[in-house]
Structure 1
């Protein structure tokens, strides 16, 4: 008895359950890796909540892995649970993961087919293309949508009748088997040569089971394989099957259950960056809808509309019972007009859009995300096998009350608290190991080092990442330390070593710091590229700030940082000469980074004077690109080391008629470009605005198109309010274009003629509270 199903099909699952209840076989065989047989009893554990997936990975190369996902509505899961509940032996019969993981991932694809074994090429008529049997059957039936055809003929049939009924529960499987046999006669293996080897192994396992249990054996497998297991594509002998399997490559594997998600079921194929060696991508567009069809035995459309209404009400949309009734009626009418036996997902979605969403697709995005796909994360009992690193991670997650969750959430950590500090250490150590559970995010405006903001989201693929990281150690701390030591020894770029030092400080790995510091000192001594030095300094300066809150000794780090700053001060002016446009833009970024970094160094008081001299040289040197000269002048002005009159003089020189328009535009971009307050500088100082306005109106027509992109890039980064105010000022015209206006003496729209000390003093109490809250 071979039951051909569609993976993750609720109609197939109900039909399988009906057959099992009616026939009650002595054994159940499931398409899946035999290495999972020992894990099958866990499916009956109360703590096992689907969706889950069987994960197999190579012991020596954990990145070579495969998943076999199962949802509550998957036929395989239903068959497993039925067999365990009735004490019926259940086994997996597919090709072992030890072979599929050892094969080249491209085996069987197009011209590469037969790579695993020379005799598995088959004789199909469309060997170079994968055949979608559901699409072929749907097209034959006159459907342009395979999903809609499958829903009409399978998913909407309802539960299979009992054995006492008039209808044979095996009839649907017999019809589907005949259809697949016709397809196999036309398409052979359908473009996937792996199926021939897999089916050979399945036949061997089926023969073995029949010798043990007789013919009362139920096989649950993909419908495509039914003809090969029932002999409709020929009757290969045992010798022929064993010949196909002889000499297959093999690797040592480990297998376990891992939680899965509905969102992951909605994806097709292997996750990006993972080398798959088997399993199957679910590719179910609507797992939440399928789960609803499987769980709800009566009035599925009415109950679905009620779910949708509840979700919209939770989002403060006005949806009443009358909306639900009208949506159900409309869905039924659409189904009748389209010739469907029952309203499907398309009809219900159209009805919801028209009745509950006022024709808008915006709420439908929420419905698709929350209901059609669903935010369901499965659970696996603690007794499931796992690598030691995974067990240590699970222990830390329980201790720190950081439960893996499917939905992305943002959490703030106060590092002055012991628990939050431990959470920060864990997240930083996992990032160092390549397990991207958490991503640092911008906080709520605090400049202190005691607060961190993280965005957390757990994806099932992270279990593979943890398995890969297990080669570095059995605990998170030991593995992160070993990984950091390895990176320090292999890093060749100075910026990579400084970034590693910062990550080690954040992860609080004191044992590895001496190794990293030695590598840092060696790279810094050998690297003479000022750009590399400037790129490395900001990370070191940030790292020095962590010493106070994390109680880490950063003295050695401070010495290296101070040495880098000194070398930058010496080498930066010559390095800024003769740069092209791209090089100047890159150096401008380094200039900003070094300026901020020097202010964070312990020797800031001593270095700031030397740095100001460097900026002054850059601002006055004609051979330096305009964007760097303008930026240097702006940094000096912000630090109070350049008088307003001098800044206006430098701008007037840069915008003089003798300066090419493109160079002048570059100077403006450096001086007031970006979102660093340049717009507010022009708003408050109409003299500078007048200089820009006068220069712009004097640019020749033939040169205007050249400077326009630079100007657009400069001013587009301003806040909308700043752009609007500048527009009003330009429309009014500067009060005295020649520069008579100084500061706010003549005033500007929205600003008084002078400082109102009484009104300004009113904000001081609130400002004091804000500063006291973030003073650390």
Structure 2
């Protein structure tokens, strides 16, 4: 080999330089760097898909920042994909960068992705080859090592790293690896940088001999292909060839095999047209906790070990202290010093050359976290694992949809980030409205970058709150969505139209219509509305119609803020409402308790939808708004529900309450209906259900009872007269009803019941004879509220007179 420093003693055999590594191992990465520096090969061969050779130069781009991954997907089936993740401390990445920095060719030599993605379609391959196939997990994952290549499902699965650690007397493979590799400084320390690879090759050879020469059919094929690539490189460059691959494969690459035998194993492999590119990756996705089979427990810790120039423990403790201070915890320099001392002491007591993650974690818990695991969990999440998100250059190949998305992200200043963050949008601003449309369109494409949540401090339709977090898997979702179009708008439109046709229920179609409005897809809306009208005409289930109406009516509100034309929805919504009004009373007859409660929720939802439908109507100069007729017919339907004995009590009670709140039912009439239902002729269970419908369900019924002592007295008198044998059946229902009230309301009701009816002694009781009510409006008390009301509504003094008249 050329490039060997004068006087340095190197111990290595003839033939290619085989560097068996641990995927994502910083010790292996340092060892690879030292070995390549000492050997100076003319070509570097790396385990990975050969189709990505053209992408290797991008690793030197200044915009490329690991962790990143090679993404391969089937052109006609983007959901079939595979990843090859690389972190800064991955040996493969170090080998690539060394080759690029020294002008040496770098090539991938693993089985081509065209075979990897096509092989075993029935197994639904998705993920990355290092994860899905045990033999690719190298020292990290469970290995499939039976000698029966015909029956891989019966293979013996072992962890080579665990076997070596157990042989050395360790019960933790990670701790063993730290002691023998990470804490020894890798192969860069000492006279022979190749010795660690020779030792690891010997260990793997012994394991393969003991547990079988292979663990999976694919191992044989992949190793045969790699041997052919190594031979081809040797013919071109002689023995100045370095191979970086999983240590498990090194004995197979070293063994003697004929070209004919290797080619015979590759004959007849299935193929699929594949595209490859670089995509960003994250430390969190490298962690085993994420489900990545070739992952590591602590990517953030390993990244620190690889990047720290010296004194890694002291630097780590400083990072921890900074994080805890940012969380307003009191951590001083003295804490850092004591934590370092404790970690060193623990390492000495446990016979370790240097403190590892276990010792540093124990020291942080004892000194900086005062024995608590709560702040320690933050350290694990933010530092030990971490939220580092890689970046790839714009010049990297991408599907057209990905390029359009990247363009929109730049224009709208929405940078993909691994760390979850909150985004508040004001839809009255054009940029925020465009951001909202983009996020809603991506959700239609199953690219769940943002998740909408309830806005704090605002109930208006002009404000939205999102939680954003970019995961590497979303790159696959974007590739999958590419089949629908080349831009986000075109793809979302095509996907919405297809979803409308395939929607299983009427409620799904109405929800899709709402999402189309949120995403502003005017071309998709006619298709969705046509399907919606057809489904509504054929669906006779009132429950389905009632479930679909609220989402449809909500959609009508978005036209005001977003400037979307919603006239197409109005006729469908009105027709759907009419069908609900007609079909609801018969549908409410003879229901059991569970079905009655479901229908009660539908009644509430329809009532709210009718109110919103009224807000969307336009006022005619010659008459009332067109919504007045809809409201009137809904009130008629509620009256039918309230007076029909075959309707369950919970629905009748709710109908009476809704009519009372709308001013369509007088207080005396409501009291009369309650008196009838609480009479001895009504079964206690049905009476209790009526009360639950009237005052329960979070409808403000508690305040109604507080301010109307007539109703409270009737409920109290009825409850006192319930027979003992029926009381135990009634009590759970009533307890559920009243337990939903706020504590202050429950306390006030209890005091009123304890005092007895009419105990307030107010002027209202004396003058009207009705507890809680006066004969006329108290104008003096009402006027006292007007200044505060003016402030809330943003009115000036000139509007006060109008406000007074409106209040009266």
From 173, 182, 186, the equivalent of 2:197 is: 173
**Cα distance in 2 for residues equivalent to 1:74 and 1:676:** 59
The equivalent residue for 2:367 is 355
SS of 1:514's equivalent? helix
The equivalent residue for 1:258 is 279
Shift of 1:3: 1.3
Shift of 1:639: 2.1
**Cα distance in 1 for residues equivalent to 2:164 and 2:134:** 25
- Say which is worse superposed, 146-155 or 354-363, in terms of deviation: 146-155
Shift of 1:636: 2.1
Shift of 1:583: 2.0
From 98, 101, 106, the equivalent of 1:85 is: 101
Change beyond 3 A, Cα 1:573–1:93: same
Matched, 1:239 2:264: no
| Contact in 1 for aligned 2:703/2:745 (Cα 8 Å) | no
Shift of 1:341: 1.9
Post-superposition Cα deviations, 1:510-540, rounded to whole Å, max 9, x if no partner, equal 2222222222222222222211211111121
Matched, 1:152 2:179: yes
Q: Residues 447-596 of structure 1: matches in 2 within 5 Å?
A: 447-491=459-503, 493-596=505-608
Matched, 1:222 2:243: no
The equivalent residue for 1:337 is 349
From 630, 647, 656, the equivalent of 1:624 is: 647
Matched, 1:764 2:784: no
The equivalent residue for 1:726 is 746
Change beyond 3 A, Cα 1:680–1:459: farther
The equivalent residue for 1:612 is 635
Post-superposition Cα deviations, 1:223-280, rounded to whole Å, max 9, x if no partner, equal 221221122xxx333222222211111100000000111111114677xxxxxxxxx7
Matched, 1:432 2:444: yes
- Say which is worse superposed, 671-680 or 6-15, in terms of deviation: 671-680
Q: Residues 38-117 of structure 1: matches in 2 within 5 Å?
A: 38-104=54-120
**Cα distance in 1 for residues equivalent to 2:33 and 2:353:** 22
**Cα distance in 2 for residues equivalent to 1:472 and 1:173:** 49
From 600, 613, 620, the equivalent of 2:612 is: 600
| Contact in 2 for aligned 1:121/1:193 (Cα 8 Å) | no
The equivalent residue for 1:415 is 427
| Contact in 2 for aligned 1:113/1:193 (Cα 8 Å) | no
The equivalent residue for 2:227 is 203
Shift of 1:176: 1.6
* TM-score for the superposition, normalised by structure 1: 0.89
Change beyond 3 A, Cα 1:503–1:353: same
| Contact in 1 for aligned 2:709/2:758 (Cα 8 Å) | no
| Contact in 2 for aligned 1:31/1:221 (Cα 8 Å) | yes
The equivalent residue for 1:276 is none
**Cα distance in 1 for residues equivalent to 2:99 and 2:756:** 90
Post-superposition Cα deviations, 1:39-94, rounded to whole Å, max 9, x if no partner, equal 00000111000010100000000000011111111111111111110111111111
The equivalent residue for 2:623 is none
- Say which is worse superposed, 442-451 or 611-620, in terms of deviation: 442-451
Shift of 1:395: 0.7
The equivalent residue for 1:186 is 210
Unaligned segments of structure 2, at least 5 residues:
1-16, 126-132, 136-145, 618-625, 766-770, 773-777, 800-808
**Cα distance in 2 for residues equivalent to 1:770 and 1:121:** 84
| Contact in 2 for aligned 1:437/1:457 (Cα 8 Å) | yes
| Contact in 1 for aligned 2:187/2:194 (Cα 8 Å) | no
* TM-score for the superposition, normalised by structure 2: 0.86
**Cα distance in 2 for residues equivalent to 1:345 and 1:569:** 67
Post-superposition Cα deviations, 1:390-413, rounded to whole Å, max 9, x if no partner, equal 101111111111111112222222
| Contact in 1 for aligned 2:702/2:745 (Cα 8 Å) | no
SS of 1:763's equivalent? helix
From 310, 326, 334, the equivalent of 2:338 is: 326
Post-superposition Cα deviations, 1:412-434, rounded to whole Å, max 9, x if no partner, equal 22222221222222112111112
Shift of 1:494: 2.1
**Cα distance in 2 for residues equivalent to 1:755 and 1:189:** 95
SS of 2:59's equivalent? helix
Change beyond 3 A, Cα 1:414–1:174: same
**Cα distance in 2 for residues equivalent to 1:658 and 1:532:** 35
SS of 2:397's equivalent? coil
The equivalent residue for 2:803 is none
The equivalent residue for 1:637 is 660
Shift of 1:446: 3.2
Post-superposition Cα deviations, 1:587-607, rounded to whole Å, max 9, x if no partner, equal 222112111111111243221
- Say which is worse superposed, 572-581 or 98-107, in terms of deviation: 98-107
SS of 1:428's equivalent? helix
Change beyond 3 A, Cα 1:402–1:730: same
Shift of 1:556: 2.6
Shift of 1:696: 5.0
The equivalent residue for 1:277 is none
Change beyond 3 A, Cα 1:692–1:355: farther
Matched, 1:677 2:704: no
Post-superposition Cα deviations, 1:431-467, rounded to whole Å, max 9, x if no partner, equal 1112111222211343433222222221111111111
Shift of 1:337: 2.1
SS of 1:376's equivalent? coil
Unaligned segments of structure 1, at least 5 residues:
271-279, 748-752
Change beyond 3 A, Cα 1:716–1:266: farther
**Cα distance in 2 for residues equivalent to 1:76 and 1:707:** 71
| Contact in 1 for aligned 2:343/2:355 (Cα 8 Å) | yes
Change beyond 3 A, Cα 1:226–1:662: farther
SS of 2:89's equivalent? coil
SS of 1:47's equivalent? coil
Post-superposition Cα deviations, 1:134-154, rounded to whole Å, max 9, x if no partner, equal 122222223222222222222
- Say which is worse superposed, 621-630 or 525-534, in terms of deviation: 621-630
SS of 1:448's equivalent? coil
RMSD of Structure 2 on Structure 1 (CA): 3.1
Q: Residues 684-763 of structure 1: matches in 2 within 5 Å?
A: 684-693=707-716, 695=718, 706-707=729-730, 710-711=733-734, 713-718=736-741, 722-727=742-747, 729-730=749-750, 733-737=753-757, 760-761=785-786, 763=788
- Say which is worse superposed, 564-573 or 496-505, in terms of deviation: 496-505
**Cα distance in 2 for residues equivalent to 1:8 and 1:754:** 77
**Cα distance in 2 for residues equivalent to 1:124 and 1:527:** 52
Post-superposition Cα deviations, 1:686-705, rounded to whole Å, max 9, x if no partner, equal 55445555555665666566
- Say which is worse superposed, 644-653 or 192-201, in terms of deviation: 644-653
Shift of 1:611: 0.9
**Cα distance in 1 for residues equivalent to 2:479 and 2:595:** 42
- Say which is worse superposed, 516-525 or 92-101, in terms of deviation: 516-525
- Say which is worse superposed, 762-771 or 96-105, in terms of deviation: 762-771
Change beyond 3 A, Cα 1:190–1:418: same
State which structure, 1 or 2, has the greater radius of gyration over its C-alpha atoms. 2
From 140, 152, 160, the equivalent of 1:133 is: 160
Shift of 1:563: 0.9
**Cα distance in 1 for residues equivalent to 2:52 and 2:323:** 38
Post-superposition Cα deviations, 1:536-568, rounded to whole Å, max 9, x if no partner, equal 111211111122233333223101111111111
**Cα distance in 2 for residues equivalent to 1:214 and 1:21:** 18
| Contact in 1 for aligned 2:21/2:245 (Cα 8 Å) | yes
Number of aligned positions between the proteins: 744
